[in-house]
Structure 1
Amino acid sequence: MYSSIVFWISLLLSLYSLTLDHHYGTPKMKSKNRLELENFEARFYSQLEETDPNSPLEVRGDRPGQANEQSRCDVITGVPNDVRTALRLSSFYSKYTHAYNIPVLGSFRVSDRALQRACYVVRFLLADRPDLRQAMYAKYGRVAIMATNEVTQNIPEHSFLPPFWNTRARGLGGTLQIPVSTGAEENVLCLRSDGYREDIFLHEFAHGIHKIALTTAVAGFNSRLTNAITVPEDAGFGRTRTQTTQ
């Protein structure tokens, strides 16, 4: 199971490079635009890992309580007071569901169906890994979905990012510093207005699993992941742009 996690995250990183080719051109792209794309993931994580003054990690240890075996993806409620307090959530968030006690959140603008679909992705990806569920829970991991008429900076935890991200990203993976993984309503529901035509939220939540849960729950995971990328590369397989910037 451990090796399969490494495989799937390596695969997601590789698929992301194909996404860049599909939306922004071929591998023959030149100069400035190509360099911009190659540095995209590195820029994202360097900005997202800046200290957020509202991050609970700055003043507290692990979140009290436990992840559990239950999910309520079919039920959308208001945000429970204990969850809002524990995670110091903005009043922006008014809708809530959960998978294994990992919150899935949205504003009043987000449809219930979008939150239910995102919750299903969380439930599916963590179904056989109680250790990763607990790590995600303990480190304040959560999911937030943007409505079709919301942008990255509307997410309170991402409001400090430059406006560039409002037009570039419709989902970002969580980190230990800012443990919210985001997606967009049109993407999780496969609406005609979605420009990506693939599950971007799944990709970003996989980043969140890596950056929040795997790095804290599985000793030596990053070294194993690096080897899974560099060993084939040394054997003659090509690099991808995403792999280059990790």
Structure 2
Amino acid sequence: MNGVLGEALRYLNDPLVWTRPGGVLDLTVEHLGMTALAAGLAAALALPLGALLGHSGRGSGVVVALSNTSRALPTLAIILLLATGGLFGNGATVVAAAVFAVPVLLVGAYEGVRGADPAARDAARGLGMPGWRVLCQVELPLAVPLLAAGVRTAVVQVVATIPLAALAGGGGLGQVVALGMGTQRYGQVLAGGLLVAALCLVVDGALAVLQRLATPARLRADHAVAAR
């Protein structure tokens, strides 16, 4: 098979491409590590903030403003801005990807907590529960489906964004694409794109399973009934 597609398939079928030091397997591990770090940073900021704003019921304007502002910033522009400040490679990409993930996580946490069953919330308050217990023991458990969906979407977006690290001297699977572009081996560029797409699908599938396991059976049944 000739052409770019044939070159891509030959690249992907070369065992040394996968197993050599700095090969696809090593780059995939590095890619996933950067993804976990970026998603963790974003979650540490967005999930508590979104949950607190959803609990108070007064943060819709803040959520919309933060979400729109963050989404309006191109990830590549953030990486280049950080590079001018002296932060290059993986560090710049992790920060930029975290900024990119914040809006999805923030909205998921806010909507999940805010949309908790009002009857359950009122019953907890009627029992004399303080606000923090209502949030932790009632609203957050009921918010699990939306929280998990937000995490799933954000992580997959981060996986797809991390290849930009190669433009700032970083690692991950973007190295395959960058090296292919630099040597004009466009089959390798295509192979790199296919690897990133495949990794996104694998991560999304794994998170879909975890999302289902994290959602209580009763909530799954309620959502299924609502969907019908």
State the TM bucket, normalised to the shorter chain. Answer: 0.3 to 0.5
Answer with 1 or 2: which has the greater Rg: 2
| Richer in helix (by share) | 2
| Richer in strand (by share) | 1
Which structure is higher in RCO with an 8 Å CA cutoff and minimum separation 6?
2
TM superposition score normalised by structure 1: 0.31
TM superposition score normalised by structure 2: 0.32
